[in-house]
Structure 1
Amino acid sequence: MNTLKLKPATDHRICFVGDSFVQGTGDPLCLGWAGRVAQDAVARGINLTHYNLGIRRDTSRDIAARWQQECAARLPADYEALVVFSFGVNDTSIVEGVLRVAEEESIDNFQSILRTASSSYKVLMIGPPPMPDSVHNRRVAQLDKQFAELAATLNVPYLSVFEVLRKDAHWLKEAIANDFAHPGKQGYECLARLVQEWSEWWFR
C-alpha cells in the first residue's frame, strides 16, 4: 500500500466524515479525535482548514447518501483535498431486535464510498471503535475485519483501532460512565494518538 504524499507549503482542506465518534460526542472539550489531530497539524505549521462532518447515529447508508455533496462544497479543486472516513458501529447496532444495516449492505456501502472518494480526493479510513458490550463487539470486530480487507483491495490506507481501544482502560471506563457508548477526554486523546502515530497519517 502506497503512502499518500502531500505537497509542501500547500493550503490543505480536510473533511472528517462519519458518525458520533467523528463528531466527538462525549468529549467535554468538544474536540473528539478529529479536532485533536487537526489541532496538532496546525500546531506543526500546517496550513489546514478542517471540517467535521460527523453526525450522531449515522450508518454507512446515511453517509453514502450525503458525503459527496457535503465534501464537494468544502473541497474546491485548487486546494489539497483530503477526506478521512470513519463509521461502522451504528451499522452493527440492533434496534427493536433488528440489525440497523446488514453486513452485506455495510460492505457494499463501504466499497462504493471509498472507491468514489479515492477517485477525486486523498482518502484515509479509520475503523470502528469498540463498545463496552461483548456481544455488540463481536459484530463490530467482524465488520472491522471485513473493512480492512476490502480497503486493501481498494488501495485505501485503513487504520484498525478496535483491538487497541478495546484494551484501553480509559476508552471503556469513560464510555460506561458516560452513555455506555462514547468516551470522554482521555479516550479521544488515545484515539487521536493512534491516528497521529500511524505511518499513513499525512501530518506526522
Structure 2
Amino acid sequence: MRFVALGDSLTEGVGDPVGRGRRGWAALLAQSLGGRAEFANLAVSGALTRDVAERQLPAALELRPDLVSVVVGVNDTLRGSFDIHAVARRLDTVYAAVTARRAVLLTACLPDPGAMLRLPRALATPLARRQRGVNEVVHVLSGRYGALHLHAADGRWTTDPAMWSVDRLHPGERGHRTLARAFHALLADAGLATGSPPGPEPQSPPPPRGAGAWWMATRGTAWLARRSVDLLPELLRLAAAEAGHRTPGATARLDLEASRAVTSALAGITPPSAPRP
C-alpha cells in the first residue's frame, strides 16, 4: 500500500519531534498499516488549501497512491484573505482528484484554533465561526466522495493539556498518537489496516515545567508577530462587527450569515453524478 499524506504542520508532525526531525500522526499510522506499506509525507507547515491543491496534489498523484490523507484548513481561517467559497472549491478539487484515481481518502475536521490558543473571546468567536464553516465543508464533501472521515473537532482530547504541545496549537506526542489510533480504527473497520495500532503512551519525556512560557518568550512571540501582519487587522474588523451588533440575537444572526455562506459555497460545487468507487 502506498500512503501519501497531504496537509499542513499538523500532518508534517509539528509537536512530535524525533531526534532532529518530526514524526507525527501520519508517520505513526503508516507504521501500523501492516504489510509492506510505503509512505510519503508531502505536508508542509503553514500550508493553505491552495497549496495542497496546486502543489501537493500533483506530486501526490505522481506517486500513484492507494491511500491519501487530506487534513488542512486551519491556516486558511488564520488569514485575512479567508474565503469559504475558495476553500470549498479547492477541497472539492483535491477530493475529486484523489478518488478519481481510486485511492482511499482520509479526512478530518479540526478544533477551533482560537480556543486552542486561548484568545480573548472577541477575537476567538470569529475564528470559531470560520473553523465551523471549514469543518462543515469537510463533512459534506467527505460524504460526497466516500471518504473515511475522522471527527476530531471536539471531544475530551481537545481539552486535555496532556494531548497538546507547548505552543497550544499542535498536538504533542500523545495527541499525535491519539489521532493515529483513531485513523487506524477507521481503516481497520474498512479492512485496510492489518497491523497493530500505535501505542497510546508517549516514548519521549514530557516537556519540562515552564516550557510553554519559554516557547512564547522565544519562538511564540515571533510566530504571533508574523501572523498578526494579515490576521490581526482582519480579526479586529470581525471583532468590531461582532461588538457592533449589540441587539439581542446578534451573534445568532452572524452565525446564520456564516452558515448561509457555507451553504452557498457548497451549492456552487456540482456533486459527482455517481458515487465514487
TM-score by length of 2: 0.59
Name the CA distance, whole Å, in 2 between partners of 1:201 and 1:139.
Answer: 35
Cross-structure match for 1:5: none
CA drift at 1:19: 0.8
Tell me, yes or no, if structure 1 residue 122 matches structure 2 residue 110. no
Q: Which runs of 5+ in 2 are unaligned?
A: 118-123, 195-277
Name the CA distance, whole Å, in 1 between partners of 2:39 and 2:102.
Answer: 15
Cross-structure match for 2:154: 163
RMSD value over aligned CA atoms? 2.0
Name the CA distance, whole Å, in 2 between partners of 1:138 and 1:201.
Answer: 36
Cross-structure match for 1:70: 59
CA shift in 2, pair 1:24/1:137, >3 Å: farther
SS of corresponding position for 1:47: coil
SS of corresponding position for 1:83: strand
Superposition pairs of residues 91-102 of structure 1, within 5 angstroms: 91-94=76-79, 98=80, 100-102=81-83
Q: 1:203 pairs with 193, 196, 207, which one?
A: 193
Name the CA distance, whole Å, in 1 between partners of 2:129 and 2:90.
Answer: 20
Cross-structure match for 2:13: 24
Superposition pairs of residues 1-204 of structure 1, within 5 angstroms: 12-29=1-18, 30-41=22-33, 44=34, 46-75=35-64, 81-94=66-79, 98=80, 100-130=81-111, 131=113, 132-133=116-117, 134-135=124-125, 136-164=127-155, 165-171=157-163, 174-175=164-165, 177=166, 179-198=167-186, 199-200=189-190, 202-204=192-194
SS of corresponding position for 1:203: coil
1:18-70 CA-partner distances (Å, limit 9, x unpaired): 111110112123220001111112xx4x1111001110111111111013321
SS of corresponding position for 2:17: coil
Name the CA distance, whole Å, in 1 between partners of 2:160 and 2:129.
Answer: 17
Alpha-carbon contact 2:107-2:138 (below 8 Å) kept: no
CA drift at 1:170: 2.7
Q: Tell me the matched-pair count.
A: 178
Name the CA distance, whole Å, in 2 between partners of 1:158 and 1:32.
Answer: 18
CA drift at 1:201: 7.2
TM-score by length of 1: 0.78
Structure whose CA Rg is larger: 2
CA shift in 2, pair 1:109/1:67, >3 Å: same
CA shift in 2, pair 1:72/1:149, >3 Å: closer
Alpha-carbon contact 1:125-1:156 (below 8 Å) kept: yes
CA shift in 2, pair 1:72/1:112, >3 Å: closer
What is the identity, as a one-letter code, of the residue corresponding to 1:118?
A: T
What is the identity, as a one-letter code, of the residue corresponding to 1:184?
A: G
Q: Which runs of 5+ in 1 are unaligned?
A: 1-11
CA shift in 2, pair 1:37/1:150, >3 Å: same
Give aligned-pair identity as a percent: 24
SS of corresponding position for 2:90: helix
CA shift in 2, pair 1:201/1:85, >3 Å: farther
